[in-house]
């Protein structure tokens, strides 16, 4: 495991990659390339590089299939977050039928182990809600980064419509409880959804 100082450097490198992804997110090419933008962070995770690259390839494939289907308009309102083959989908769709179709498309991708479809049936969020979601997400990221008990590199955080989602792995119950406590203390959060597994969960890929 890398030392704390090296971890911070890798986090900064990864953050730069995420920024690049954000700047390119309005184009199909940027969306596909953005899946690999977190390489610097990936090097510091507890998971193997094979597992990390597996998730990266999975994200690229899923985004490509969603873009190629009849969801071209819906695609830009969706966000896919992947951890060990578990696919968390957030965003907005126009109707319940589309919501089900998105799940079906994702399930058809080889390597998907679980689909967590948390999309909302509604129009695109307004600017105020988008800003609020970004505040929620960055607030939890900052809290976890500053907590020595939490290996924040092993978590992915998403906020949508003031609902906070966390997916990843905790080394033990104490770490998980700290993550939950931080999440529930964040301002504007209407609901917290916990998709974190303990590291020794038998359902994890081995």
What integer pLDDT is reported at residue 51 of this predicted model? Answer: 85
pLDDT in tens, 13-49: 343 343 334 333 334 444 444 444 444 444 445 777 8
Q: Of 2.60.40, 3.30.1340, 4.10.240, 2.30.30, which CATH number belongs to 127-198?
A: 3.30.1340
CA distances from 187 to 153, 181, 196 (A): 22, 13, 21
Residue 10 scores a pLDDT above 80: no
What integer pLDDT is reported at residue 75 of this predicted model? Answer: 67
pLDDT in tens, 47-64: 778 888 999 999 999 999
Helices 173-184, 127-145: crossing angle, 10 deg rounding: 140
Look up residue 164 and give its two tokens. Answer: 């906070």
Residue 159 scores a pLDDT above 80: yes
CA distances from 141 to 20, 147, 160, 206 (A): 19, 10, 15, 28
3-state secondary structure at position 105: helix
Chain-centre distance of CA 56, in angstroms?
11
What integer pLDDT is reported at residue 38 of this predicted model? Answer: 46
pTM exceeding 0.95: no
């Amino acid at each position: 495991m890398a030392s704390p100082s090296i971890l911070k450097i890798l986090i900064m490198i990864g953050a730069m990659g995420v920024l690049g992804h954000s700047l390119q997110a309005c184009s199909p090419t940027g969306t596909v390339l953005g899946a690999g933008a977190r390489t610097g962070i990936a090097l510091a995770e507890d998971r193997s590089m094979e597992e990390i690259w597996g998730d990266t390839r999975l994200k690229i494939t899923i985004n490509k299939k969603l873009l190629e289907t009849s969801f071209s308009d819906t695609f830009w309102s969706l966000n896919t977050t992947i951890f060990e083959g578990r696919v968390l989908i957030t965003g907005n769709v126009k109707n319940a039928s589309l919501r089900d179709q998105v799940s079906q498309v994702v399930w058809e991708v080889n390597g998907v182990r679980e689909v967590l479809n948390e999309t909302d049936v509604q129009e695109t969020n307004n600017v105020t809600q988008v800003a609020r979601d970004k505040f929620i997400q960055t607030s939890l990221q900052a809290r976890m980064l500053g907590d020595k008990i939490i290996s924040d590199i092993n978590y992915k955080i998403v906020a949508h419509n003031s609902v906070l989602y966390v997916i990843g792995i905790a080394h033990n119950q104490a770490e998980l409880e700290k993550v939950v406590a931080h999440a529930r203390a964040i301002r504007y959060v209407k609901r917290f959804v916990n998709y974190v597994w303990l590291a020794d969960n038998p359902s994890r890929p081995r």
